[in-house]
Amino acid sequence: MAEVAVALDVASGRDALALVERIGEAISWYKLGPVLYVREGPDLARELLARGKQVFLDLKWHDIPSTVAGAVAAAADLGVSLATVHLSGGPRMLEAAARARQAGLRIVGVGVLTSMDGPEFGTVVARAVDDVSLEQERLVRLGLEAGLDGFVCAAAEAARLREIAGRHAWLVTPGIRRAGDGASDQRRTASPLEAARAGATLLVVGRPVTGAEDPKAVAREIREEAAGG
C-alpha cells in the first residue's frame, strides 16, 4: 500500500506547523526541502518528530563521500526516516551514504532531475541524450550497486524501475495530481491511484494539499485513492 508524504513547501516554520495541525491524523509523512530547512533548520524537523510525524529530508546531497556520509549520519541522529542523494555523485559517494545510514533511515537516490530534458542533460554529460529514461535507469543501477534503499522517480517510470530495483526498493514519486488539480510546473503527473498501481511506495504531494481550502480533506482523499492501488 502506497503512503503519502505532504511536501511542506510553505513560507515559514510557523505556516508549516499550522498546516500540520490542520491536517492532523490524515498524514504521517512530511517532506522538508532546502528552502524551509535553510530558513528554519533542524528545529522544524524536531517539532515534526515531536508531533509523531515521519520526516523526509529532501536536501539531495551531492558532495565528496566523507561529507555526504557526515550528512547522512547527522540525519540519522536527528531522527529523520528518509533522505535523498544525487545518483550522479558516483559510486563512492553512494556507497559512503549507504554505509553511514542507520536503522530507521532510508536513503533514496535522485537521477535525472525532472526539470531537465535530453538536450540539457546532454550538455552535462557532453554527449547527445535522446532518451532521458535510459540515463535514469543507468543511474538507478549505480544506486542499486551501492546499496541504496530506493529512488525518486516519476510515476510513469515506477513500473520499469520496480522491475530493475526489485520489490523491496522504495520508489518515491512526486508530481501527484488528482483529476481536476492543475499540473502547476510539473511536466508529467499521475493520479494517486496510477502511482500506487505503478508500484510507488511513497507519493509526494505539495500544492494540491498546501494550496487547498481544506487541506485535511484533500490529504485524506489522496491517501484513500493511493490505498486503493
Q: Annotated active-site positions, please?
A: 60
Q: Looking at the chain, how many residues does it have?
A: 229
Q: Are 60 and 89 in contact (CB under 8 A)?
A: no
Query: Pick from 152, 155, 198, 222: which binds ligand C5P (CB under 6 A)?
Result: 152
Q: Which three cell numbers stand for residue 122?
A: 546532454
Query: Pick from 2, 7, 10, 83: which binds ligand C5P (CB under 6 A)?
Result: 7
Smallest separation (angstroms) from ligand C5P to the CB of 25: 21
Nearest CA among 42, 62, 63, 45 for reference residue 53: 45
Query: Pick from 42, 150, 174, 215: which binds ligand C5P (CB under 6 A)?
Result: 174
Smallest separation (angstroms) from ligand C5P to the CB of 196: 16
- Asked if 192 touches ligand C5P (CB under 6 A), the answer is no
The position carrying cell 495541525 is 21
The DSSP result for 94-153, as a single string, is HHHHHHH--TT-EEEEE-S-TT--HHHHHHHHTS--S-HHHHHHHHHHHHHHHT--EEE-
Residue nearest to ligand C5P (CB): 206
**Positive or negative: CA dihedral 134, 139, 141, 144:** negative
Smallest separation (angstroms) from ligand C5P to the CB of 125: 18
- Asked if 9 touches ligand C5P (CB under 6 A), the answer is yes
How many whole angstroms separate alpha carbon 128 and alpha carbon 131? 9
Beta-carbon count within 10 A of 174 CB: 24
Smallest separation (angstroms) from ligand C5P to the CB of 66: 25
Q: How many residues bind ligand C5P (CB under 6 A)?
A: 14
- Choices 42-50, 127-135, 139-147, 204-212; region in contact with ligand C5P by CB under 6 A: 204-212
List binders of ligand C5P among 77-136 (CB under 6 A): 113-114
Contact residues toward ligand C5P (CB under 6 A) are 7, 9, 33, 113-114, 152, 174-175, 184, 186, 204-207
